[in-house]
Amino acid sequence: GAVVSQHPSWVICKSGTSVKIECRSLDFQATTMFWYRQFPKQSLMLMATSNEGSKATYEQGVEKDKFLINHASLTLSTLTVTSAHPEDSSFYICSARTGFTGELFFGEGSRLTVL
Amino acid sequence: AQTVTQSQPEMSVQEAETVTLSCTYDTSESDYYLFWYKQPPSRQMILVIRQEAYKQQNATENRFSVNFQKAAKSFSLKISDSQLGDAAMYFCALLGFGNEKLTFGTGTRLTIIP
């Protein structure tokens, strides 16, 4: 199957700093990428949908200025958590698809810990 | 709006036995996909099985099969001959053709008893 890679897999940062998480589709072109957040022992909550070359569409309640999403190419989307605070600590997962095949391919996830 | 409900937070099954995980959903979409994903301790989401809503035949993937009841909006997962490696969190999910959003249920933690 198609491979989606996230980097870094684990990041620790100080409160007030910004952190960038990358999501890459390694062997296919991803027209659409999705970013999810998962709290411990909970389900995945969709944060935003990004299409290559256009602005991301954020879900209700997700702060656009805090979670900056860029989808500059067909193989790369980035999530930047700006001015991170301890409550932003979570597991962030990206997924990607090409066209509308009905299947999403997930990255390995990135664990963010804000001290 | 679309919702996915998993009413079993935890399930356990004896190794080699069969277990069924429940899922119900609601959507206004006429065309949609349903999925079961597995999330092991590594947290990597793994697709277990997929069902197109327009197909009447239940999907099957080796030891995994679904019971898709469209009228009842039910989509259960049956795991036969359970193995230790099946232990994980299982999420039911729905993807609507119209809104293109994948909505997850709250998950069922499956434990395999040796």
Q: Give per-residue pLDDT as tens, A53-103.
A: 888 999 999 999 999 999 888 899 999 999 999 999 999 999 998 766 657
| Residue A102 pLDDT | 58
Q: In angstroms, rounded to a whole number, what is the distance separating the alpha carbons of residues A38 and A71?
A: 21
Residue B8 at interface with chain A, using a CB cutoff of 8 Å: no
Q: Give the pairing of strands B10-14 and B108-113.
A: parallel
SS3 content of chain A, % helix, strand, coil (to 5): 5, 50, 45
pLDDT for residue B6? 97
Phi, psi for A95 (deg, rounded to 5): -140, 160
Q: Is A111 helix (H, G, I), strand (E, B) or coil?
A: strand
* Mean confidence (pLDDT) of chain B: 94
Q: Residues of B with CB below 8 A from A38's CB?
A: 43
Give the distance from residue B104's alpha carbon to the nearest chain A alpha carbon, in angstroms: 6
Alpha-carbon Rg of chain A, whole angstroms?
Answer: 13
| Residue whose token pair is 């190419």 | A73
